[in-house]
Structure 1
Amino acid sequence: MTIHPAPRIPDGRDGKAYVLQREISFAVKVAVATGRPLLLRGEPGSGKSSLAAHLARTWNWRYYEHVVTSRTGARDLLWSFDAVRRLGDAQLRQHGERPHDIAYVEPGVLWWAFAPDSAAQRGGANADHHADDPNPDNARRAREHAVVLIDEIDKADPDMPNGILVPLGSSEFEVTETRTRIRAADDVRPLIIITTNEDRELPQAFLRRCVVAWLPELTGEHLVKVATEHLRAYGEKVTESDTTLAEALARELMAARRQAADLGVRKPSTAEFLDALRAIRELGIEVGSPEWEDLRSLVLIKVQQPAA
């Protein structure tokens, strides 16, 4: 058996391949029309995080993302301030010259989305303190619009979601260290997409200010569409045998989901389906073969993982 390296990074969020379901398409339209953040709920691996990059690529909008951790605070989405570097620089300067605080301000994703020109200048007009857009592709995209992904907000401190309500609602905030007021231009309308894996209950005040959508339950038909779209998006020819394989694999995954539910472990989702599809095609495995049974235990039924 010849093993070839993976043709691409499995979780690379380039936005090339995505099958937009009708319910989610309508939720996106409502979020854009109301100016409210779109909160996406659903199983891990179901494609929540991939939607934002796909929309930005399709619409040619600027794209930013912030993956939330337990240490993420509301201010991290707006700006950060390197107080340690500032102190070190101040100690090195002679004659008591005070460092320029703007140089130590790093714009966050919401600042870049609201006011890209201000973010590039770190809130000041001095070109010496220029900041680079975190996404180089944005230089070729529309300045007036942006998509921001705030990923896995349920991992944050419980106070964090309420802490971003005012900036999200008003599209403005103040950088306290420099007393600079950041305000979105009238022609800038960002779409904020927030995902949650339901690891923690979100505050009601936060939910009230979001458009909330659940990803629909997986179906075999949807999985076959996902397989076809991914193969085509990365320049691979989709043959009749590929479609037959995707259909067989979709049936196996739906059966594995039922088995996982019975075992009390997390049900495999779209991510596992795509992993199995790549492995089967790259390794020449046939569904139902002994190698398939081994693969099934590796990527579909992960019995060591407790239910989410």
Structure 2
Amino acid sequence: MKFQGSEEYVATDDLTIAVNAAVALERPLLVKGEPGTGKTELAHQVATALSLPMIEWNIKSTTRAQQGLYEYDAVSRLRDSQLGDERVHDVRNYIRKGKLWEAFEAEGKVVLLIDEIDKADIEFPNDLLQELDKMEFFVYETGETVRAKQRPIVIITSNNEKELPDAFLRRCFFHYIRFPDETTLRKIVEVHHPGIKDALLTTALTQFYELRDQPGLKKKPSTSEVLDWLKLLLAEDLTAEDLKRDGANALPPLHGALLKNEQDVHLFERLAFMARGQR
């Protein structure tokens, strides 16, 4: 069971090594990187490439670790008892299984994605240590222990918004997805926009990297954003000639796909103003 990337996902050698190492070690793969660098998509592609079902747990700021195991609805049980409902005699009727439980009870191996773990409370990763390590948990309401029938491939993503606890990191295989160089980005673009003219792509990527490398930028545009920008350029039938800029215009056409806050737009407007003043 080896992951080699796919036709829809350009995986670098170090990323494929990381995925296969985590699978071999039976450890969760913790993937960090800038937003938009394909961390979430990696889990989907691993599942597709290995022909495995995928279970996705999207983490929010209000998510608790217990929700990944199960939730007991005591309020509904109390209401049903007042109404004389026969369901109250079986507590299992009021237990809602979480994503980890789904993954543990699956008959075959699955890919379990825990997406954006750094959005949750700082204690969230620690609260899952034992369950991810031992692949089992105890259900207090029924007195049963739920054990994984087959150890799932666990992929955990983080945008690095919070530091994760050392005890949690020790149990993971770690990989940081670096922003792709131009050669890799060209391969990614070819997957999403096959047949794009080389002159347009070369000019667009040159401008993109110049914009991305501008000092003082608050939010650097990501891989997904350059793909959106290229899609717009193609939709508008723009050419490499249309992308040429003079010093008085520091912003590329349709820059709203790349720059997502007014501070960065103002930065380039100031650069254009200064360039005009020097002419």
Question: Could you say which TM-score interval applies, normalised by the shorter chain?
Answer: 0.7 to 0.9
Q: Is the 8 A contact 1:82 1:104 kept in 2?
A: yes
Q: Name the residue aligned to 2:257.
A: 299
Aligned mates of 2:229, 2:82 — CA distance in 1: 56
The 5 Å alignment of 1:183-194 reads 183-185=147-149, 188-194=150-156
Q: Letter of the aligned partner of 1:274 in structure 2?
A: L
Q: Is the 8 A contact 2:80 2:88 kept in 1?
A: no
CA deviations over 1:166-219 (Å, ceiling 9, x no partner):
01011111122222211112xx13111111111111101111111011112321
Aligned mates of 1:305, 1:148 — CA distance in 2: 38
State whether structure 2 residue 229 is matched by structure 1 residue 276: yes
Aligned mates of 1:302, 1:98 — CA distance in 2: 52
Q: Letter of the aligned partner of 1:28 in structure 2?
A: V
Q: Letter of the aligned partner of 2:257 in structure 1?
A: V
Q: Is the 8 A contact 1:174 1:182 kept in 2?
A: yes
What TM-score, normalized to structure 1? 0.76
* Match of residue 239, structure 1, among 190, 195, 210: 195
Q: Is the 8 A contact 2:77 2:88 kept in 1?
A: no
Range moving further from structure 2, 286-295 or 197-206: 286-295
Q: Aligned-pair RMSD on alpha carbons? A: 2.3
How far the C-alpha of 1:16 sits from its partner, in A, is 7.5
Q: Name the residue aligned to 1:59.
A: 50
State whether structure 2 residue 123 is matched by structure 1 residue 159: yes
* Match of residue 208, structure 2, among 248, 253, 256: 253
CA deviations over 1:79-112 (Å, ceiling 9, x no partner):
2223332222222226x87342212222222111
Give secondary structure in 2 for the equivalent of 1:75: helix
Q: Name the residue aligned to 2:174.
A: 212
Q: Name the residue aligned to 2:96.
A: 106
* Match of residue 239, structure 2, among 266, 270, 286: 286
CA deviations over 1:104-156 (Å, ceiling 9, x no partner):
2222221111212xxxxxxxxxxxxxxxxxxxxxxxxxx42111111111111
Give secondary structure in 1 for the equivalent of 2:230: helix
Q: 1:41 to 1:22 in 2, by over 3 A?
A: same
- Report sequence identity in percent: 37
Q: How many residues align?
A: 253
Range moving further from structure 2, 174-183 or 189-198: 174-183
Aligned mates of 1:162, 1:244 — CA distance in 2: 50
What TM-score, normalized to structure 2? 0.83
Q: Is the 8 A contact 2:117 2:158 kept in 1?
A: yes
- Where do 4+ consecutive residues of structure 1 move more than 4 Å? 289-292
Q: Is the 8 A contact 1:16 1:57 kept in 2?
A: no
The 5 Å alignment of 1:45-194 reads 45-93=36-84, 98-116=88-106, 143-185=107-149, 188-194=150-156
Give secondary structure in 2 for the equivalent of 1:39: strand
Q: Name the residue aligned to 1:230.
A: 192
Residue segments in structure 2 that go unaligned for 5+ positions in a row: 1-5, 265-279
Give secondary structure in 1 for the equivalent of 2:45: helix
